[in-house]
Structure 1
Amino acid sequence: MGFLAPLDDDDLTPDAAEAARRFLAAHPGPLSPLDRTLLGSAAAFDAYQGWFTLRDELVPYLGERAVTLFSFAISDGYPAPYPAGFFRRELELNGDDPVDPQVTEAERLLIDWGRGLGAGAASVAPGLAARVEQTFQPKLRLLLTAFAGLTVAVCVFTVAGGVELEQ
């Protein structure tokens, strides 16, 4: 068990159970260990679920694969084993090689930028940031930056909390 423990359904407060119900209505499937850990606070759970809202806004612009590659690059660059393992598995399930994916120029840019952001946004080379600015329109840059911030927040939470990826 990690520093923070995932909760069983019986351990959820009424607010947390309602937050889980709302989430599952929009995202069917089992709750992940991360979700079950965040449900220790309905407010924390709701805040982190904003990641899905931003992901859903990015997908029409970039496609699911590019968003997953970006997410993997951020979490691998951090490094955060839980989210990196999750995104690695998602890529593999879709037939991609997470270590050496065949990518477009825009996807390569997202991977490079994501790794830099994961390692520390202040250390992203100005030339890389300029390429992102030249490639993506302002609204998309805003969504990507906000999404990256939430992805880094998930990395911090999972590493600090000792959240373990289910096998």
Structure 2
Amino acid sequence: MPRISPLPYNEATPDVQVAFDAHVTDYPGSRITNMKATLGRSLLSFQVYMQWYPLYEQVKAILGDRLAYLYAHAISEGSNCPLCTTFFRRIIIDNGERPEDLQLTDHEQAVIDFGSAIALHKGEVSDAVYAPISERYTDAEIVVLVAFAGQMIATNVFNNVLDVKIDEYLYPYLPLTQPQTNP
């Protein structure tokens, strides 16, 4: 059960309804998910978190579409966020790959390791993990990649803290087995 339930559209203030409508219009194919509807309880929070979209577009311009969603998946998995990990699993699967059996170049692996390390180690990235990134990308590109990782982690934290439920449209993309936790 979520700690804060998603705000139904018909209960949202007119300003929030306008923001929801603008988001769906501005980003074709997007929807007001459980996370976004929960964010809708604070218009400013919704607006801030939706800046993820233009930042992700910059990441795609730097990395290309495939590596951008693999990078986001690695960050979400490193943050142990079931909702965001499943969201990116969907993109991976819908693009014809299996998340458990990705075929990666050394460079792609380095980018994924970078994203994962940022999430797993709370930003403490070793020189060995950072070096391949700094050798390939400009300072401005690295700033975008790190800022996006921070935004992705913020999204992961939001979903985890509030126990935002995975949207039904993502159910077919859940892993067949779930990690076991100790009681």
* TM-score w.r.t. length of structure 1: 0.94
> In 2, Cα distance between the equivalents of 1:159 and 1:80?
6
Q: Offset at 1:71?
A: 0.4
Once residues 123 and 145 of structure 2 are traced to their aligned partners in structure 1, the CA distance between those partners, rounded to angstroms, is 16
Question: Partner residue of 1:21?
Answer: 21
User: In the TM superposition, what is the alpha-carbon distance from 1:105 to its structure 2 partner?
Assistant: 2.6
Q: Identity of counterpart residues, as a percentage? A: 30
* Equivalent AA in structure 2 for residue 127 of structure 1: A
* Counterpart amino acid of residue 102 in structure 1: Q
Corresponding position of 2:7: 7
Aligned residue type for 1:157: F
User: For residue 12 of structure 1, what is the amino acid of its counterpart?
Assistant: A
Determine if contact 1:113/1:129 at 8 Å carries over to the other structure: yes
**Greater mean alpha carbon deviation, residues 33-42 or residues 154-163:** 33-42
Q: How far apart are 1:61 and its partner, in Å?
A: 2.2
Map of 1:129 onto structure 2: 130
Q: Tell me the equivalent position of 2:173.
A: none
Gap runs ≥5 in structure 1: none
CA 140–94 in structure 1, closer or farther in 2 if over 3 Å, else same: same
Does the 8 Å CA contact 1:106/1:135 hold for their aligned counterparts?
A: no
CA offsets 1:99-129 (integer angstroms, 9 cap, x no match): 2211233221111011111112343222111
In 2: Cα distance, 1:32 partner to 1:159 partner: 15
Secondary structure of 1:123 counterpart: coil
Q: What CA RMSD, in Å, does the superposition of the two structures yield over aligned residues?
A: 1.3
8 Å Cα contact 1:78/1:120 also seen in 2: no
The letter of the residue matching 1:98 is P
Aligned length: 167
1:139: Cα distance to partner? 1.4
CA–CA separation in structure 1 for the residues paired with 2:159 and 2:121: 17
CA distance in 2, matches of 1:43, 1:5: 18
Aligned to 1:120: 121
C-alpha distance in structure 2 between counterparts of 1:162 and 1:121, whole Å:
20
Rounded to whole Å, the distance in 1 between the matches of 2:90 and 2:123 is 29
Structure with more helix by fraction: 1
Give 1:95's aligned amino acid. Answer: G
- Aligned pairs for 1:56-135 within 5 A: 56-135=57-136
Segments ≥4 residues shifted beyond 6 Å: none
Counterparts of residues 35-54 of structure 1 (less than 5 Å):
35-54=36-55
Give 3-state SS (helix, strand or coil) of 1:102's partner.
coil
Name structure 2 gaps, 5 residues minimum.
169-183
Q: Calculate the TM-score normalised by the size of structure 2.
A: 0.86
